[in-house]
Structure 1
Amino acid sequence: MQRIIKNGQVIDESWHLLDKDSSLDGLSNSDDLIVPLALWREHAHALKVRDGGLGVWLDSDEEIEEIVDDLSHFQVVALNFPIFTDGRHYSSARLLRERYGYQGEVRAIGDVLRDQLFYMQRCGFDAFAIRPDRDPYEALQSLQDFSVTYQAAVNQPPLFRRRQA
């Protein structure tokens, strides 16, 4: 069982992340599923009436705007980083939080490494599926790498505004 970082803790993964070529055949009605965007587009009506939790995952070339009207159906929005150098979903996380007011879990999946977590958290991610060959407990420590930040973040104003308060 994979362990993920969520809300500053390492926990056992309870969601089932479906592959891009998955179908709904043979799936339990009560499992918590994170489905690829293509499966959501094709079977949204069936997925909405399931008893289990529902999430969607987007690849780096898929836009957040494709799911904006459906955000209320998802407990999790997972954003895939196919390689660690592909940073397009940093912006997607910020859009989810700031523009669209999404309050559910925003999870980083794929090639997610320790060095990215601090910055991902500042953009709005609150869960991280670390690459399987890496230690999630070591990666968790990276969230404390910096004690002071100057720039604004999703959950924090810039330093000069914090000092005025």
Structure 2
Amino acid sequence: MSNLIQLNDDIASIAENLWVTVQLPPSNVEARKQAGKVVQFKLTGEATVSETQIADTVIPATGKIIVPLSVFIARKDELLTRISNGEVGVWIDTHEVLADLVNDQADLNVLPIIAVHVERFADGRIFSLGTLLRKRYGFKNELRAIGDVLRDQLFFLKRSGFNSYLIRADRSANDALASLKDFTAPYQGAVDEPRPVFSRYNRTA
């Protein structure tokens, strides 16, 4: 069964995944350590992808693909026809700089899908990236959360503008569906509802 949840007109359902997420080859870079322990998150802007990884990334010859940001930028020329045909999306890691994508692809809405990848959920950068893509950069197409995506995050991902969620492989998408209705009337304004709760209701004396 598919582990992809999609929102259409605010109705969530489990859907077939039509996109192949292209993976980078493994890195030979030694893990960062602090006080003898492996650091479980990457710093924003930290360079983590080598030229060798980019060159060695295997891109399927056909079908709809979501490629890593570094591969999209470095190998864009070989993807131009497929980009024009709406067959190429981009995924960005939470530590990567969104400006790199914006500077390379001025019109983000050429991309039918942008995915944000969480290697290990340790902070809220995915929510910030979703909000920036929707509000600052006007991205209107599918915004997908991938990687370490768990049930408890879905409601807040929706508030940040995400409309599809690839649930972690060891978890059930059926169980996660209900989490999108965990709260009925959020207090704060966000991407999915800009008005805070006090402005949505008429109060009479």
Instruction: Give TM-score, length-normalised by structure 2.
Output: 0.74
Amino acid at match of 1:23: V
Q: In the aligned structure 1, how far is the partner of 2:157 from the partner of 2:174?
A: 17
- Cα separation, partners in 2 of 1:95 and 1:155, compared to 1, 3 Å: same
- 1:4-36, Cα deviation, whole Å (9 max, x unpaired): 001111111110000023233xx223x100000
1:5 alignment counterpart: 5
How large is the RMSD of aligned CA atoms in angstroms?
1.6
Q: In the aligned structure 1, how far is the partner of 2:154 from the partner of 2:160?
A: 10
1:43 alignment counterpart: 75
Amino acid at match of 1:14: L
Report which of the two structures shows the higher radius of gyration computed on alpha carbons.
2
Unaligned segments of structure 2, at least 5 residues? 26-56
Name the count of aligned residue pairs.
162
- 1:87-125, Cα deviation, whole Å (9 max, x unpaired): 212100000000111001110001000000000100111
Contact residue 2 and residue 132 of structure 1 kept, 8 A:
no
Matched, 1:54 2:92: no
The percent identity for this pair of structures is 38
Shift of 1:80: 0.8
SS at match of 1:163: coil
Instruction: Give TM-score, length-normalised by structure 1.
Output: 0.91
Amino acid at match of 2:88: L
Q: State which of 61, 70, 73 in structure 1 corresponds to 2:110.
A: 73
Contact residue 158 and residue 192 of structure 2 kept, 8 A:
no
- 1:113-140, Cα deviation, whole Å (9 max, x unpaired): 0000000100111000000011001101
Matched, 1:63 2:97: yes
Matched, 1:28 2:67: no
1:18 alignment counterpart: 22
Query: Which runs of 4 or more aligned residues in structure 1 lie more than 6 Å from their structure 2 counterparts after TM superposition?
Result: none
